[in-house]
Structure 1
Amino acid sequence: MKRDTITAAAIQYVPLADLYLSDLNPRQDADPEGIDLLADSIAMIGLIQNLSGLMDAEGRVGIVAGGRRLRAIARAIERDPAVTARHPELAAIPVRLAPDAATARAWASVENAAREDLHPADEIRAYGRMKEAGAEVSAIARSFGKTEAHVYRRLALAALPAPVLDALKAGEISLGTAKLFTLSQDEALSLQVLDEVRGRDVSEHRLKQALQPDTISANDRRARFVGLDAYEAAGGRLTRDLFSDNVALHDADLLDRLFADKLDEEARRIGAGWRWTEISAESYLSYEITAKLDRLYPVGGDLTEDEAERYDALAELAEAEALDEAEQAEFEALTTILDGDFTEAQRAVGGHYLYVQQDGTLRLNGPWLRPEHRDEAIAAGVLTGRADHRTGSGGAAEPAPKSPYSGALVSDMKAIRLAAIQSALLDKPELVFDLLAFGLSLASGVSTHVFDLTPGRPTNCPTKPEGLDRPARLDHAPAAHEGWSRPDLRVDDLPAAFRAFVAAGKKARNAALAEGIARTLPYGAGGSDFFTVIETDSGASIRKVWTPTAENFFGRVSADYLEGLLLSLTGCDPQGSGFKAFKGQKKAEKAATLERLFSDADYQRLWQIDAEKKARIDAWLPDCL
């Protein structure tokens, strides 16, 4: 086969007017912003690399390699014609001329295919050296043809220990991993962690934990409640992630003390005048606590005839949003009278629970009457009149507050949780074997059954599967009786089938074991505590496999629930126009709105969802499991 010969050629100097982009050049399109940046670089330091081209019949030269440089030269001269005086090579541009089309075509292919960008590690060091020499970020950006934002991101890594940058250059760690090392202020710890992660695929979460042991996220409810300003004012140390909004707090004992002190202070302030105020260490108050208590309700006030007439008039103005400031104050005062207040007798026997929610907000729950104070309350007449009450000893108990979740929805949520755990077990065959051995041995007692080895077919798919990313491997195998009617489910030569199965190897065996056993795990195996251990050790996460939608969740709870959820997740103003518009929607529209809030990034921006709120949405789960 005949081969084209590529002949060497000398450099010639050609005026810009005689140069054009050849059709042989594969880079016919260029980013205007990139050309501007390259023009800045050429204007500052001149042309470092010559162009390559092919002369046509008219004596003009078509550039086959260096098209971006050609455009940038033209842009630099267009901006500042005097640039040719500072850099003469821009007046007569050095071009390596190809002797024929075959050579030109080869040059075009080789340069554009083989061109390699500067390695990030070399780029970081180069920027760092220029910065140490006194160069401004803008000058560095122009010199390398990069944006200032890009230079800032690279300079953030320039202070990393040299071995970290060496590992990056050697391909032992990724650029993303190198960025995480900026979180550590301890070089010895950084180098120790580096040795552990070289050449390994380590999750971002695990690496952060290793680089910042014993730190607390700023999203922790304690940190949110105390506030970063108060924490720092008390001498607390923190680290801000240079590449995200994440903040890590280093003084856990100090944070715990500030949290407890502020909570105690709030309890004293809020509980003034009440019989008791109890602080709950949890982020919620369970039904089990409140179901044993009596709720106390404010005693409503009465308006005079004139006040009642005035209230009706103001209410009409309020409905039309026509109240002025004075009328609004008057309307609120009359409303307060109607709403009533708690009497001294109620305060003498009742109290509140105080706790901090996951989002760091203080929640006051009550007032409640404890069983030991019920007789005293009855004697004082607190449980009579408008106040809801339970009768004294021997009377019928007030029913516990109605759960916002239907039985079918709770069953579906349990199926979703079970699918999440079983999905995680598919990738943890060794854990499956451990659980299997434990359940089959006397170490677990004679009545513990970890797996339903009938094999059972526990429900791991909800009635409304939309939004659940459930592996097909969790589908239960066809029932045994189906083998009679389906020849494809029967095995005629069992020994041969067994030999083939064994020949597939241990990996295939482990996968089959994990798949077959994982899907028999019943909900609540071993009791709630042990089931939670399985969930934790397997790394299961409901939100990894399930996204709430209008169909599978939001349309199945009350409108009041949806309103409370929107307020909790977005932190919006209950009196703001956005929430008022939401509240005025039909339930189906509210459900659709919540679905968009969970899945539509553009819609989240409309609700001003920042990184903290986004994390809250991504982690949210209903409290019915």
Structure 2
Amino acid sequence: MNVDRKTIAVTDAQIPFADLYLSDLNPRSIVNDEAIELLAANIRKLGLIQNPAGLRDADGKVAIVAGGRRYRALAMLQDEERFQTVTVRMAPDQATAEFWATSENAQREDLHPADEIRDFGMMNERGVKVADIAVAYGVTEKHVYRRLALSNLPAPVLDALKAGTVSLSHAAAFTVSNDEALTLEVLASHLERVAQGWGGLSEHMIKSRLKPNNVKGTDRRAVFVGLDDYKAAGGRVGADLFEDVTTFDDPAILDQVFAAKLTQTANDYPAAHGWKWAEATTEPYIGYDFAKSQTLGKLYAIEGELTEAEAERWDELAELADAEALDEEGTAEMDALQKKMDGDFTDLQRALSGVVLFVATNGTVSLESGFIRSEDMAAAVEAGFVEPSRHAEANATPKPAISETLGRDLDRISTGARQNAMLDDPKLALHLLAFQLCGKMGYDTAFSLRKDEAPNVPATETGYVLDKRLTVADADNRSPFDRDHAAEFAKFRKRGDAKIMDLLNRYLVSQLSIRNADLGAMIDKLTAKRTRDTFTPTAENFFGRVNGAYLNDLWSDLLGLAADHPTVTTFEKLKKGEKALRLECLFADPATRTALGLSEDQTCRINAWLPEGMA
């Protein structure tokens, strides 16, 4: 294609959405429904930032050649009048349209994970809610939470992630550290191995080096506690002569003294600073979900305003700072102006709320202010510090054991199991297709025949086995344009009836997505579907994704034991991760079943078990 972009006459036109349709030139023929929903939410809140591009056809309609995802998202927003007319960048001719269709997709570049982590972290520090970050970036809230979990890593770790010398899993391993100096030491060792071509440290090696049996004096807990208090509690010390570092050889004593000293610091804080209460956390920072996990509300400081003279002085100081010409006196002056702009909490705010103290990675006490307990929320609302909740009734509803995301994965597993079962009965598949095509199902369907995918792969494929005929497509790396369909079809027919019928069955069954429960049950019976042949629950794909109470009940029910039975009470004392692994072994490890001495009835119950809602 030969297009001189300097000569393209670009015009924008206001087109009714009803006159738009997706062009065959648009490269995004397969899309993720969840991603489109996220994009629609983004557009609804922020507006359409980039217009789609189109080409007017002979009937006066406009075919969208670039911006297929935006078009699909706009289709979901037609309940609002402002989206019923769309600004479209119009291509003057077919050649330009084809150029735009391929160029936009090729030039798209995703934000690097390291940049995402930093962006999300800065937005979170400014008080932007996770839900709003997700909308702004067109991602799920779960994705934002995962990135925020890495946002407190030292800058050199994120720099290495950006450079490609540290992976996301490596970065996650560094989050176990309480000692920034040790973190940077382990990072340096990893980077040295990478430079020498040894592949760097594994995630396990990183965690092992960050959690040694003794604690260096640079650890935040050691810095905060100090040698004198640690020794007074009976703690032993050692030394590394090569590194000139004192070691605290009794981590348990260090933790006890650390917790006691931090608690006392929190107890003394309210009277000295006017807050209603203060608490302490032993974590090295306040997590993004702290308020939610502790069912606390949040107040924010009343921002200050600079006078006209102060604003002018701020601009002068900012110019000096940008030129790296700001001296200590100027820095102090700028900090004072920044503190005024940041504002402060009023006496009434302090009287209704509290602070949470923590020891940062450098060993100093830090805090986050303005947390509201439930008993003070009504007074805070009345004072106008927070808006009344519109979701009180919804929040009172118990959280279901199976989340929406997990439920969606279980639905996909059920779909895959149904497809697996039908693969061996192509005649039934054809009969069902004919039943749908002849109109006997009304507006309902048995197959997704719009060229959309019928999702059958969960977020994690651990413990999930799908027939390869449903996962391996015919290789075809040719351009989607300028094909001779007649010649290709003639060549296709030479495969013979048997191969064509096999292909038809394979692709037809991959579109199987029955929504009617009665029809689904009938098809499952005819195909003798067994979901457990496709799906084995594991810690990764199920048990680790439900709460501990659910796991306790499941362990008791599967073994048919009373709640006070020692096997059940011992299980309940385990950590959630340990419970998930025990249940995984119960389902997949013969040695575990033998050790428990399971009866035939218990074994049958385990072999047949499926989460509620699956069949």
* TM-score, structure 1 normalization: 0.35
What TM-score comes out, normalization by structure 2 length? 0.35
Larger radius of gyration: 1
